[in-house]
């Protein structure tokens, strides 16, 4: 698999960042999470005056063979229909990208549909849907490695355009099932606590979903390594997201993490390269069952809790203004010395 060289941010700058934060015209620690974010971003960029440049958001789309087992109320064709909705600008992620001025990119990772060359998406299809992991591995080793490479390539292109802060989202009917399996194998949390209703707001499908996924686990006889779990139970859009996150960390970009599925992608990326966590900001705690446990497992403190469970990266973009505020705090607030204000703490 493609090699990533991800460095842990140099900690030597931390005392100087803390001094700058503490000398801003406010009581020490009074801006709470903004101060913690400012410290993290300053360490990532190795500067006392960080900048967020050309924000980009990539939505990877792909279909899953397990959809044949009816583990989602939504039919598989919704994936390709939503991709069209993305490029016409009418989805949830579209209004948020416009609102927060993100460059939105839609990637066909493995949608079970023949898009036309002129369609306004990034064509990186591995295959038209993964295989059904109830019976066989979702993808071959070669397909998995290609997905990682293509995800990394998409991020490199954003970086070359001047981007240093990036979010990721997904579209793929039944990908909460794949995410639940990644979660249980990578954390040891029982499967039943990892499974949620996905797009079924009634929750009626959960028992059937559990039975199918439990059978899938029973039919799996691999070595349980992160690479094998990614390959056997993953989706092309999910594996591309893993490659994208690792490349973003390698390039020292700020990574905005969305909900249940993207947090599982980060989980798997961290199993390959734990350093990726230093570059990651968790946008929100979603309403999908298992996300809270997953965040706790990672020791993550999400910025928002709005009851979201849409995916697409919407929670990450909702949280972006808070990240922006942290950077503005460092760059736009005066110090006590500059304004000759007596420290009042």
Known catalytic residues are: 312
**Token pair in block for residue 185:** 């194998």
| DSSP letter for each residue of 263-328 | HHHHHHHHHH-GGGGGGEEE-B--SSTTHHHHHHHHT---SB-------TTHHHHHHHHHHHHHHH
In 3D, which of 262, 236, 267, 260 has the Cα closest to residue 151?
236
Distance CA(80)–CA(121), nearest Å, equals 12
Distance CA(147)–CA(2), nearest Å, equals 10
Angle at 252 between CA 248 and CA 258, to 5 degrees: 45
* All residues at 6 or more sequence positions from 217 whose CB lies less than 8 Å from its CB, including other chains: 181, 184, 191
Burial of residue 264, with CB atoms counted within 10 A of its CB: 0-12 exposed, 13-18 middle, 19 or more buried: buried
**Cβ(113)–Cβ(81) below 8 Å:** no
Distance CA(196)–CA(198), nearest Å, equals 6
Distance CA(338)–CA(54), nearest Å, equals 30
């Amino acid at each position: 698999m493609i090699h990533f060289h991800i460095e842990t941010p140099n900690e030597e700058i931390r005392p100087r960042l803390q001094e700058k934060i503490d000398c801003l015209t406010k009581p020490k620690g009074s801006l709470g999470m903004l101060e913690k974010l400012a410290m993290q971003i300053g360490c990532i960029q190795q500067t006392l005056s960080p900048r967020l440049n050309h924000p980009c958001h990539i939505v990877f789309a792909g279909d899953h063979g397990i959809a044949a087992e009816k583990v989602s109320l939504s039919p598989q064709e919704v994936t390709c229909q939503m991709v069209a909705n993305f490029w016409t600008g009418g989805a949830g992620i579209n209004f948020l990208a416009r609102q927060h001025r993100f460059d939105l990119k839609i990637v066909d990772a493995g949608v079970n549909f023949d898009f036309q060359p002129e369609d306004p998406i990034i064509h990186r299809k591995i295959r038209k849907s993964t295989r059904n992991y109830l019976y066989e591995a979702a993808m071959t080793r070669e397909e998995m490695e290609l997905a990682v490479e293509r995800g990394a390539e998409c991020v490199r292109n954003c970086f070359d355009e001047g981007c240093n802060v990036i979010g990721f989202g997904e579209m793929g009917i039944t990908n909460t099932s794949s995410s639940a399996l990644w979660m249980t194998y990578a954390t040891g949390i029982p499967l039943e606590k990892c499974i949620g209703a996905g797009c079924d707001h009634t929750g009626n499908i959960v028992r059937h979903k559990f039975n199918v996924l439990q059978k899938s686990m029973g039919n799996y006889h691999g070595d349980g390594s992160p690479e094998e779990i990614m390959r056997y139970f993953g989706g092309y859009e999910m594996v591309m997201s893993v490659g994208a996150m690792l490349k973003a960390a390698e390039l020292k970009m700020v990574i905005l993490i969305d909900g249940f599925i993207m947090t599982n992608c980060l989980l798997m990326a961290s199993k390959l390269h734990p350093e990726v966590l230093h570059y990651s900001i968790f946008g929100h705690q979603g309403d999908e069952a298992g996300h809270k446990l997953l965040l706790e497992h990672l020791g993550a403190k999400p910025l928002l809790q709005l009851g979201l469970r849409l995916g697409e990266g919407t929670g990450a973009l909702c949280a972006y203004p808070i990240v922006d505020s942290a950077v503005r705090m460092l760059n736009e607030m005066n110090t006590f010395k500059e304004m000759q204000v007596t420290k009042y703490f």
